[in-house]
A = this chain, B = another copy of it.
Amino acid sequence: MNFTTSEENHIKCIYHLQQVTGLVNTNSLAAEMQTRPASVTDMLKKLKAKKLLHYERYKGFKLNEAGKKAALDVVRKHRLWEFFLVEKLKFDWDKVHPIAEELEHINSAELIQRLDNFLGNPSFDPHGDPIPDKHGKIPVINQQNLSTVTLKKMLTVSSVTNQSVQMLEMLKHYNITLGSQLMVLKKFEFDESLEIKVLKQSPCIISEQVAKNVFVQYV
């Protein structure tokens, strides 16, 4: 089935929220979508009519299997386009999100399949997020939150959750990118901030808030 741009945006957003909270509620989706709760309710009725979610008035909602597949289709398109923009067009990784946000709504299965092949069937996008395959299957990696990691072990940055421009600019400032090698030297109990050392850089301190958004693997 085909969806409108607005439907796809809602589906994708519900998907991300329900991965964290299980059930999603109207207000948080409205906040995330920068829209009004009343508009969310309107859209929920449409998505329910299209049999994409479990939803009862006042009770919260979540995508069913069909809805999840639809969401993964959009995620796949988004991440493939991000990969294209960074790898082929040489965009900075912190600039591609808004453009991919438009490209993801172009509906042509053949286009996406060919793009995937052209890019070499990548498994992860430039932010380190996994790219679902055409059946919605997501590659898994053995990654861990930077704030939960053993001290003084060498690590590789494998993904970054929060993709706000501010966050990504900050990481750039610290010279942290995907694949960067680093080590946590010390954890300050007071505010849970971390002293880290990025390979070839002098040690620095990052807040718990930043650490929570950085995922790593042991080398």
Contact = CB atoms under 8 A, between A and B. Distances in A.
Secondary structure class of chain A's binding surface, majority of residues: helix
A156 B122 CA distance: 40
A89 B115 contact: yes
Contact of A114 (B91, B106, B115): B91
Nearest to A116: B89
B89 A114 contact: yes
B115 A106 contact: no
A99 B108 contact: yes
Interface in A112-166: 114-115, 118
A200 interface: no
A170 B107 CA distance: 27
Contact of A102 (B98, B106, B114, B118): B106
A103 interface: yes
Contact of A118 (B88, B95, B103): B88
Contacts of A118: 88-90
Contacts of A49: none
A99 to B, nearest CB: 5
Contacts of A108: 98-99, 102
Interface string A77-97: 000000001001111000100
A20 interface: no
Interface in A7-44: none
Contacts of A110: 91, 95
Nearest to A102: B106
A203 to B, nearest CB: 36
A219 interface: no
B111 A106 contact: no
18 contacts: A85-B111, A88-B118, A89-B111, A89-B114, A89-B115, A90-B114, A90-B118, A91-B110, A91-B114, A95-B110, A98-B108, A99-B106, A99-B111, A102-B106, A102-B107, A102-B108, A103-B103, A103-B106
Interface of A: 85, 88-91, 95, 98-99, 102-103, 106-108, 110-111, 114-115, 118
